[in-house]
Amino acid sequence: MSYTALVLDNQSRQKMIDFFQPIVIDWKVYCHHMTINMGKPKKDFSENLIGQFHTVKIISFADDDLVSAAGVLTDLPSKNPIKHITIAVNEIDGGKPMLSKKLLHWIALKNPIEVSGSVQYVFDDQLTGNKS
């Protein structure tokens, strides 16, 4: 197992891609999930959430030369200090999705958007990230 996450449904993933399209022109697009817990889930932290459907609000944005991410407002727990969804990664210059949690300068969105998904275990062979 790789992680436990709120995995976006296809409609929400496309909504994020459309909303952030000007930013991700030549990068690998993710817009896939908000990480709750890496590795095996902890019973007291995320195991009881599996299968639950949630709607979350995208309230901010941050990027640098390697990665872009959307800040998330939700009651769902996350081991990340800033709850976020990786939008896209500049793989040509060495970007990786994990760099999203190191972004520092978050800008509030004037018009937050809502996206939805379900809490799932994500295994290595399920990892996605399609170029759009």
Where is pLDDT greater, at 9 or 23?
A: 9
pLDDT bracket for residue 130 (50, 70, 90): very low
Tokens standing for residue 132:
């759009």
Helix (H) or strand (E) holding 2: none
> Domain ranges in the chain?
3-126
pLDDT: which is higher, 25 or 102:
102
What is the DSSP code string of 64-118?
Answer: -SSEEEEEEE-SS--SSSS-EEEEEE-GGGT--GGGGGG----EEEEEEEEEEEE
Quote the tokens at residue 102. Answer: 């190191």
The three-class DSSP label of residue 31 is coil
Which of 3.90.1300.10, 1.10.3720.10, 3.40.1190.20, 3.90.1740.10 is the CATH number of 3-126? 3.90.1740.10
Higher-pLDDT residue of 122 and 10 is: 10
Q: What is the pLDDT of residues 37-57, one digit of tens each?
A: 887 766 656 678 889 999 999
